[in-house]
Amino acid sequence: MKVVYTDNNATTKVATEVVDAMTPYFTEYYGNPSSMHTFGGQVAKKIDFARQQIAELIGANPDEIVFTSCGTESDNTAIWGVLRANPHKRHIVTSRVEHPAIYNLCKYLAQNGYHVTEIGVDSHGMIDLSELSDAVREDTAVVSIMYANNETGVVFPIEEIGAIVKQRGSMLHTDAVQAVGKLPINLSKSTIDLLTLSGHKLHAPKGIGALFIRKGTTFTPFIIGGHQEKNRRGGTENVPSIIGLGKACELAKKYVNEEQTRIKQLRDKLETEILKRAPDTRVNGHKASRLPNTTNLSFEFVEGEAILLLLNEKGICASSGSACTSGSLEPSHVLRAMGVPFTAVHGSVRLSLSRYNTADEIDYIIEHLPPIIRRLREISPYGRETKVKGQTSTVSARL
Amino acid sequence: MQYSPKVMDHFANPRNVGEIAGADGVGEVGNPACGDIMKMSLKIKDNVIVDVKFKTFGCGAAIATSSISTEMIKGKTLEDALKVTNKAVAEALDGLPPAKMHCSVLAEEAIEAAIDDYLKKTTGKGLEKKKAHKHDERHEH
C-alpha cells in the first residue's frame, strides 16, 4: 500500500546515509571504546567524531555533549542532575504544554517534596513571559521550558526566557527534541544551560539521544556507573547509534535551510488548501512562531481517531490530540492549556513533514483529507445547520 | 489500532445513518468532553421499531457500535430492544479493545434514551427503571 508519512514529530525515517554509516559498527568495529587495545580504541575516536558532528549542528563544544538513550533520559538527566547538585533549591518552573518526559517528571517531583510552578500559554500556544518572570525565584533550581512544541509546533522565544532566568540566577533547561534539525540553533551565543535532543526525530535511529550541558554547569550524573562520558553517564556506549546520530546531525546541518524553504512551503500549501476545502477548520498554534514542518488542525463536528482511521485507509500517517487516540482517554493537555474547546481538541489532527515528503504527497493529502471530513460530518449529529438554526448552537457552546 | 474487521466495516460503511423526520422517539447520549455523542431516532409502529437511524460524533468504535446497534434493534419490540446489552453490541462486532468498551455502553444508552423519549411522548411516563449511566462513570473529568 502507498504510504504517505506525515507523522514526523512522532518519529522519522532513518536516513539511508545514517544506516550506511552505522552498519560497520555492528559488523566490523564492534569493540568496546573503553578497551586498551587498538581494536576497541579506534571506536572511541569515532565516537569523538560523532560528538563533534552533533556539537557543530548546535554550536556547542564537543565536551558539552553527553550521549543518552533517548530524549526522555536526557530530560530526566538534566532535571535530576541539576536538582541533586543544588539540594538547597527546591523549586522548578516549567510550562503547561511540555512533553510528558518533562510534564510527568515535574508532576512526580511536585508529589515528592518539590515545588513546581507551571506557566500557562495563550490561545495561540504562546508562553506568558510576565507569568514566567513572576515565577522564577531565589530557590528556583531549574526552569525547564521546551524549545518547540511537539503537538502544535509553536516555537517559544527561548532566549527571552533565558534572559529572564539568568536575571534571577537560575538555570535553563530546554527540551529541543522537536527543534534540533528544524531550526538553526547556536548554543555558543545562548542563555541555555542544558538542551535535550533526540536521534529519532532527526532521521537517526530510536534509542539514542544527547544532552548538552554547558561547561561550568553544576551537575550530578543521573545514571551512575562506569567512567563513560567523562563520568556524566555510565554505561557502555551505544556505538552504532552514536555514529548514526553524528551522521544525522551532519545531514541536518545541510538540510536545515530546506526546512525553512521547501518544507515550509509544502506545509503552508497543505494548510491553506485544507482550510479552503474543509470549512469550519481552525489552525491550532501561533501561525508565525512555529516549526516549519508542523500543522495542527481542528476539524469541527468530527473526532480525530475517526479521521486518522480513514486517513490510514489511504495510507496517510498522522496523529491526533483526541482522547480516543491518547491511550489514556485524556484529550491533549497542550490544546486544553490553550483553551481549545473540547470538541475541537477531539477533532484535532497533526500533520508533520520531513525532508522526504514530496509535492505529490502533499497534493495526495489535499485530495483525500477534505472528503474524509465531509464523510464524517455526514455521520455527525452536529454541523453548520445546527449552528445556523441556533438550536443547540455548536457543540462547543454546549460546554 | 486493534479493531476487528467487523468494527472497521461498520465504521467505514455505517448502516442507517441519518435522522428520521418526525421520529417517534429520539435519544441523545454522551458527552462532548469525552469526545462521543450518539443520537438515535426511532420510528415505532405497534410497539415494534420499524425504522432507526443514528448520528454520532465520536471515534471509530463509537460509529461502529452505533451502526451495528441500529441493525440489532430494527424490527424488534421495545421490550426486546431494551434487552440489547452493551456486551451484546461488542460481541456482535467481534469484540472491542478494552479502552473502547464504553462506546458499546453508549449504544445501549442511546437505545434506552430513544425508547424513553417515545414512552414519555406517548404515555406521559418514561421508562420505570432506567439503567445506571455507566458511560459517564468510565470517564473522570
Domains of chain B: 5-126 (3.90.1010.10)
Same domain, yes or no: A359 and A270: yes
Same domain, yes or no: A204 and A326: no
Same domain, yes or no: A35 and A117: yes
Same domain, yes or no: A231 and A300: no
Distance separating the N- and C-terminal Cα atoms of chain B:
25
Residue B132's pLDDT band, with cuts at 50, 70 and 90, is low
| pLDDT of B5 higher than 60 | yes
Lowest-pLDDT range of A116-130, A217-231, A374-388: A374-388
Please report, for the domain that includes residue A288, its CATH number: 3.90.1150.10
| Per-residue 3-state assignment (H helix, E strand, C coil) for A72-87 | HHHHHHHHHHHHHHCC
Q: What are phi and psi of A282, to 5 degrees?
A: -125, 155
Residue B37's pLDDT band, with cuts at 50, 70 and 90, is very high
Nearest Cβ partner of A303 from B14, B28, B58? B58
C-beta atoms of A381 and B55 within 8 A: yes
Q: Chain A within 8 Å of B13 (Cβ-Cβ)?
A: no
Same domain, yes or no: A86 and A194: yes
Q: Provide the domain limits for residue A377.
A: 4-9+256-388
Q: Chain A within 8 Å of B17 (Cβ-Cβ)?
A: yes
Domain-located, residue A399? no
pTM above 0.90, yes or no: yes
| pLDDT of B134 higher than 60 | no
Kindly list the residues from chain B whose CB atom is less than 8 angstroms away from the CB atom of residue A306: 11, 58-60, 62-63
What is the Rg, in whole angstroms, of the alpha carbon atoms belonging to chain B?
14
The pLDDT of residue A327:
65
Instruction: Supply the DSSP symbol for B100.
Output: G
CB of A215 within 8 A of CB of A61?
Answer: yes
Same domain, yes or no: A99 and A224: yes
The pLDDT tens digits of the residues spanning A57-91 come to 999 999 999 999 999 999 999 999 999 999 999 99
- Concatenating the DSSP letter of every residue in A317-365 gives E-B---GGGSSSS---HHHHHTT--HHHHHTEEEEE--TT--HHHHHHH
CB of A171 within 8 A of CB of A142?
Answer: yes
When pLDDT is averaged across residues A387-391 and rounded to a whole number, the result is: 37
For B3, which residue in chain A has the nearest alpha carbon? A309
Domain boundary among A204, A227, A252: A252
CB neighbour burial string for A47-72, b if at least 16 within 10 angstroms, e if fewer: beebbbbbbebbebeeebbbbbbbbb
Domain boundary among A233, A252, A271: A252
Using CB atoms within 10 Å of the CB of residue A181, give its burial: 0 to 12 exposed, 13 to 18 middle, 19+ buried.
buried
Q: Which of A121, A115, A71, A72 is nearest to A91 (CA)?
A: A115
Q: Chain B within 8 Å of A313 (Cβ-Cβ)?
A: yes
Give me A232's grid cell: 556524566
Same domain, yes or no: A238 and A133: yes
Angle A258-A264-A14 from CA coordinates, rounded to 5°: 55
The Cα of A316 is separated from the nearest Cα of chain B by a number of Å equal to: 14
Q: Which of A337, A361, A336 is nearest to A351 (CA)?
A: A361
Count of domains forming chain A: 2
Give me B16's grid cell: 442507517
Please report, for the domain that includes residue A110, its CATH number: 3.40.640.10
The H or E element spanning position A113 is: none
The pLDDT tens digits of the residues spanning A258-282 come to 888 999 999 999 999 999 999 999 9
Q: Give dist(CA A265, CA A282) in Å, integer.
A: 19
Residue A385's pLDDT band, with cuts at 50, 70 and 90, is low
C-beta atoms of B37 and A322 within 8 A: no
The pLDDT of residue A393:
36
Same domain, yes or no: A264 and A218: no
Same domain, yes or no: A46 and A183: yes
Q: Chain B within 8 Å of A309 (Cβ-Cβ)?
A: yes
The pLDDT of residue A394:
40
| pLDDT of B137 higher than 70 | no
Lowest-pLDDT range of A382-396, B66-80, B124-138: A382-396
Lowest-pLDDT range of A4-8, B11-15, B31-35: B31-35
Q: Give dist(CA B73, CA B92) in Å, integer.
A: 12
Domain-located, residue A397? no
C-beta atoms of B57 and A343 within 8 A: yes
Give me A105's grid cell: 517528571
C-beta atoms of B63 and A327 within 8 A: no
Q: Chain A within 8 Å of B11 (Cβ-Cβ)?
A: yes
When pLDDT is averaged across residues A206-215 and rounded to a whole number, the result is: 98
When pLDDT is averaged across residues B24-42 and rounded to a whole number, the result is: 91
C-beta atoms of A305 and B59 within 8 A: yes
The pLDDT of residue B99:
87
Q: What are phi and psi of A194, to 5 degrees?
A: -135, 135
Same domain, yes or no: A262 and A217: no
Residue A392's pLDDT band, with cuts at 50, 70 and 90, is very low
Domain boundary among A236, A252, A268: A252
Active-site residue list of B = 34, 103
